[in-house]
Amino acid sequence: MAYLYLKAIHIIFVVSWMAGLFYIVRLFVYHIEANNRPQPERGILQNQFVIMQHKLWYYITTPAMALTILAGAGMVYINPSLLSVNWMLLKLGFVAGLLIYHFICQNILNQLKHNTFSWSSTQLRLWNEVATIFLVAIVFTVTLKSAVDWIYGLTGLILFGMVIMTAVKIVKYYRLK
């Protein structure tokens, strides 16, 4: 029964973590685009984005990430045989990638807080889709388990990523028109 409670907690905090990751990068885009505004509007907007980003990151996103990892570790502790199945190892690889994504976002947050703008809004829009690719990869891996053919799954994931990236470029084209 403890396993099922941990699983429910894990799913709840995965949703919270992903929502935070999706929204933080959107805030980064708006923060960067505020550079195109005249003063004092630019300063007001950027100060507000720093506050919003800080609260989202440290009050929601990072705690949700920590609770997701703790609940997942708890499930593995209760059922260590999970580590002997290929789908779980693949999922953990994708989770490791998502953790790297998380900490790169934290680095971007710290840069923006110090008025360092090394990403364009287009680059951040593309970066935002990386989290979607990780989410799709993890959900399909967990749902299909051993039923998935890894080669077809990986090919599908790459194609999905290409479709998302193309969609971002198309939206940019029409937005600039």
Q: What is the pLDDT of residues 97-131, one digit of tens each?
A: 999 999 999 999 999 999 999 999 989 998 998 99
C-beta separation of 87 from 146 below 8 A: yes
| 67 pLDDT higher than 90 | yes
* Distance (Å, whole) CA 76 – CA 70: 10
pTM, two decimals, is: 0.86
| 52 pLDDT higher than 90 | yes
CB atoms within 10 A of CB 146: 9
| Residue-level length of the chain | 177
| 148 pLDDT higher than 80 | no
Cis peptide before 40 (omega within 30 of 0): yes
| Percent of the chain that is helix, strand, coil (3-state, to 5) | 90, 0, 10
What one-letter code names the amino acid at 127? W
